[in-house]
Structure 1
Amino acid sequence: MSASPQSSPARPRLALAGIAIESSTFTPYRSGAADFEVRRGTEEILERFPFFTDGSAQGRALRDSAEFVGVLHARALPGGQVEREVYEGWKAEIVDGLAAAHAEVPLDGFFFDIHGAMSVVGLDDAEGDLITAIRAAIGPDVVVGTAMDLHGNVSHTLFEACDLLTCYRHAPHIDAWETRERGLRDLVAAAARVRDGGARPHKALVHVPILLPGEKTSTRIEPARSLYARIPELTARDGVTDVSCWIGFAWADQPRCQAAIVAVGDGAEAVEEAALELSTALWEARHEFEFVAPTGAFDECLEQAIASDARPFWISDSGDNPGAGGADDTTYCLARLAARSEIRADEVSALMVSLVDPATADAAWEAGVGGRLAVQVGGRIDAREPGPVPLAVEVAALDESGPTGRAAALRVLDVETASADAAGAPVALEGAARTGLTVVVTGRRSQWATHGMFARLGLSMTGFDVVTVKMGYLEPDQYESAADWLLALTPGGVDQDLLRLGHSRIDRPMIPFDAEIPAPTTADVRRGGGA
């Protein structure tokens, strides 16, 4: 029941909380508390939103439009499934905090700040589990909104529990904060309207049984570019506030994983028509999705990179991309780079960036810049072939100023790997020649996507002939730095070849696991809101 005009505050009261991570169920890595940045309380949580701190008039207006109450927000680099006890602890803290805030002064709205592809050990729908517990604490009357990554999943449970849902419209995600700002602004308006006796927004959901990696759905290329370009026209229609297209998360084996279209607004018929129109457009393009770059096995990519005149030539080690949940330590590419004769002879300079390997990073720090030692690199988390790679290396640079923990750039030496059996032992070959290969190891899983990350170790995105990076599609700084680029279809927990991973629990039929899927109809539309 809404409060009377005499007792209603001038501004709606909104709480904020959430857990944001993208989790592969196919990687052996488990994400724990140490992987997350955790913020508690209103000021800490609001400081994470740049539009609240950049001094802009628009940001100040949004900040002043509501009374915000921050509870807890945890965010991590994509990884493996979250340890159950860690999740349950934060869930209890969020639920208890929201219940206390709602009991003190009733909340008008709640912003569910999530990624949308979190997996928790033992749960099929982690966000659905969390929002169900939150709804039990704050009740059915509070208006709930969320703003998500387009690689998230929209389960029926999540859809039913939220009044407003929106997601990014670009991949790479250049509009991440713009999306959250839009989501918050729409939530403030809806919460104020409902508090004053108005209706909740209408909403419509259509699932489309397509499950594709982001590397096939980048908005840089067709058909995703045109598909997302349709959204502004749809949202400009009378009765429609927002329309969103979730590609879904390909590297989790859960029934909720599939594409989803959601529309919200004041007009029930207009909202349903917009959702069905965009879902039909997605279905019509179902066979048109291609990789964002030319692809091949890593050996094929490396052969082409070495033969090319384009410098630097970038190769994505896409199967172990930590930005999608990969372990960040498979050595499939490293072993092949180290064995390549042109690189070994220093005729071609090559960079492998990066592998998480705290033991090797610590050994490098012990040796110091210029120190030479034998190491066993990688293969400690995801131990698939070839496992740890024995190398003799010289420490080229050290840094611990960034989010990677201890990081070391290691120049590989041209000695037989048999001399590198004792990991961490000094290499007594002062005259050993350097190869053309440099490998970066870190104390924490990380993704080297910006110029600043490279600069901390005195490296440049354009300073090598060949750069192999644990990525899928290239982020803006990488994309601009690459003279040419290939997407290597490598093994790992986020393998681009989905059929190799062994999904068994997703809904079927589903592209690409099946040749065809049915077209969406009005019978597929799930509706809600308006009351």
Structure 2
Amino acid sequence: MNKNYFVLLMALMLLSGAVAQPIVKSTEANNRAFKAKLPKIAIAGLGIESSTFSPALTDEEAFHATYGADVFSRYPFIAKDSALRKQAFWVPTLVGKSLPGGAVTRVAYESLVNKTLDSLKKHLPYDGLYYDIHGAMSVVGLDDPEGDFIERIRKVVGYKTIISTSMDLHGNVSQRLAKNSDLITCYRMAPHEDAMQTKARAVKNLIDRINSGKGKPAYKAWIPIPILLPGEKTSTRIEPGKSIYAQVEPASKQAGVVDAAIWIGYAWADEPRNHAVVMVTGDDKQKVKNTAEKLARDFWAKRNEFAFVAPTSNLQYCLDKALASDKHPFFISDSGDNPTAGGAGDATWTLTEILKRPEFKQAGGPSLIYASIPGPELVAKAIAAGVGNQITGRAGAAVNARFAPPVELSGVVEAIVYGDKDAEVEVVIKVGSTHIIVTKKRKPYHKEADFTRLGLTPRKADIVVVKIGYLEPELYAMRADWLLALTPGGVDQDIEHLPYKRIIRPMFPFDQSMEDPDLSARLIPLSGSSK
């Protein structure tokens, strides 16, 4: 080849880009180029169960909101270097999770929502958004907060963005939440041992639909079921919940189906959206409809079989039974003020009744651990007095004094522990043979470490009384025996006598003679559709 011709040819190739240029991009530029090829996915969500039968109110601080990169700490499955983390360019905005409680103030809700929307606006556009909610939030003066929130998100991100929603099975699915969610799923276990698997499934489904080019599932079948029951009657540990929910995973694995889910709904709020729901999403219209209808029919057919997850009775019977038992520890659920379901957590009725019992008056009596009662003033007195010293003061009933006034405690400070995320400060006060946990702020006790870090040994106690409904897995594993006490509070298990005014009637179990409902599938329009 002519030398001059070769030089000319090489020059032309360089100018046209046919030969790689000897320029090394910076690492930052390479990262940007790499991320540009990945789907861009935002993360946002607020979660709480809010009882409208509790006088408590929930403020913004209770949500312990995380922002930006700190959001990743909530999701081990998208931790740094995880497979899912590498499959998208993530834009975490705001995620807030509160202990269950009373209705959220409108100021708190608007603040958290607007902070989320402001963050989303900064990083538009998005291929997808992971919407992580509980589904049972009540807000003062606002129906269906999760539906309102997602509609406001849609106004920012538009309708090309695919939204994948994950929920608690005790959440509520309104039609507008269903319409604005392209993918939707919920837990399949109660207690919720599959919480992280559910959230991961929601994210995996989202990434798959984006990367495959399939986009939004073509069909979403939504079936409202007129059943409203507490979680303590619908646990998947026992029948019929066990077999009803056992159908969900196989249903979701069918060709043409993306996901299937059953929501029990939340029993302690009075809104039209509060009832059970079945939803199935997928691309095969007939299979989506048939699957949803079968799940709904099976659920309805079993409605009369639902029963409490443990033997139940009044508190006096439960205490008598526990005192007579040779099985220790004997757990009693103080269910009416359960802070894991929305109770205020400071009702004193049960503790007042326990302290009246002569069996617990003397230090050498049967050992009983009570968890717990908020009492910031009593906690301050305990700190001032120190461990080993006697104190007297009041606790509880600052929020919910409808059933009993603040309880007067006079005993010895056994422990003072700082640093809990919820309680902030925890104090153990021994009164007679009872070990009473008093907290600066309310806290649920559902793990063995919650007790042992305070120097308490629940496995060696005669009786453990916990403000809870069904026992969480670690408590359930510890119990030698267990009764669920039907006690008063904001999440009273006797829901048929609560003053509902706005739920859709007829509703089981309130209307026992109601006719069978229409359980045919309602196809929800795709998000962005004008239908």
Q: TM-score, normalised by structure 1?
A: 0.90
Map 1:45-84 onto structure 2 (within 5 A).
45-53=71-79, 60-84=82-106
1:107 aligns with 2:126: yes
Among candidates 399, 407, 412, match of residue 381 of structure 1:
399
Give the match's secondary structure for 1:406.
Answer: strand
Q: Who is 2:378 aligned against?
A: 360
Shift of 1:396: 0.6
SS at match of 1:260: strand
Closer, same or farther in 2 for the Cα pair 1:476/1:197, shift >3 Å?
closer
Distance 2:519 2:307 in 1: 29
Distance 2:176 2:419 in 1: 42
Unaligned runs of 5+ in 1: 1-5, 413-434
1:465 aligns with 2:491: no
Please give the alpha-carbon distance, in whole angstroms, between the structure 2 residues aligned to 1:307 and 1:243: 46
Q: Does 1:177 align with 2:204?
A: no
Aligned partner (choices 303, 315, 318) of residue 298 of structure 1 = 315
Q: Report the counterpart of residue 389 of structure 2 in structure 1.
A: 371
Amino acid at match of 1:438: H
CA deviation vs aligned residue, 1:287-313 (integer Å, no higher than 9, x gap): 110000000011111111111111111
Measured after TM superposition, the shift of residue 62 of structure 1 is 1.2
C-alpha change, 1:54 and 1:150, in structure 2 (3 Å) is farther
- 1:516–1:162 CA distance, 2 compared to 1 (3 A): farther
How far, CA to CA, are the matches of 2:142 and 2:439 in structure 1? 31
Q: What is the aligned partner in structure 2 of residue 141 from structure 1?
A: 160
Q: 1:302 to 1:65 in 2, by over 3 A?
A: same
> Secondary structure at the residue paired with 2:419?
coil
Q: 2:438 aligned with 1:474, yes or no?
A: no
**TM-score, normalization: structure 2?**
0.90
For 1:89-238, list aligned pairs within 5 A. Answer: 89-102=111-124, 106-193=125-212, 196=213, 198=215, 200-238=217-255
| 1:259-270 paired onto structure 2 within 5 Å | 259-270=276-287
| Distance in 2 of aligned mates of 1:223 and 1:212 | 13
Q: Check conservation: 1:205, 1:261, Cα contact below 8 A.
A: yes
- Return 5+ residue gaps in structure 2 as ranges: 1-32
Structure 1 distance, partners of 2:367, 2:34, is 70
Q: Which digits, 9 at most, give the CA deviation of each residue in 1:119-171, with x for residues without a partner?
A: 11111111011111111111122111111100000001100110011000000
Query: In structure 1, what is the equivalent of residue 67 of structure 2?
Result: 40
Measured after TM superposition, the shift of residue 367 of structure 1 is: 1.1
2:49/2:341 contact within 8 Å kept: yes
- For 2:38, the aligned partner's letter is R
Partner of 1:419: none
Partner residue in 1 for 2:414: 396
**Contact between 1:276 and 1:521, CA under 8 Å: does it hold in 2?**
no
Q: Which residue pairs with 2:493 in the alignment?
A: 496
Q: Which amino acid aligns with 1:218?
A: S
* CA-atom RMSD in angstroms: 1.8
Determine if contact 1:264/1:271 at 8 Å carries over to the other structure: yes
**Secondary structure, counterpart of 2:369 in structure 1:** strand
**Distance in 1 between the 2:297 and 2:520 partners?**
13
Check conservation: 1:164, 1:201, Cα contact below 8 A. Answer: no
Equivalent residue for 1:256?
273
Between the aligned partners of 1:26 and 1:172, the Cα distance in structure 2 is 23
- Compute the displacement of 1:507 (Å): 0.4
What amino acid sits opposite 2:48 in the alignment? I
The range that moved more, 441-450 or 343-352, is 343-352
Name the structure 1 match of 2:58.
Answer: 31
Is the 8 Å Cα contact of residues 280 and 519 (structure 1) preserved in structure 2? no
2:49 corresponds in structure 1 to 22
CA distance in 2, matches of 1:28, 1:293: 28
* Conserved 8 A contact 1:84-1:120: yes
Q: What is the distance in 2 between the residues matched to 1:198 and 1:249?
A: 31
- State the distance in 1 between where 2:88 and 2:436 align: 49
| Contact residue 375 and residue 393 of structure 1 kept, 8 A | no
The code of the aligned residue for 1:107 comes to Y
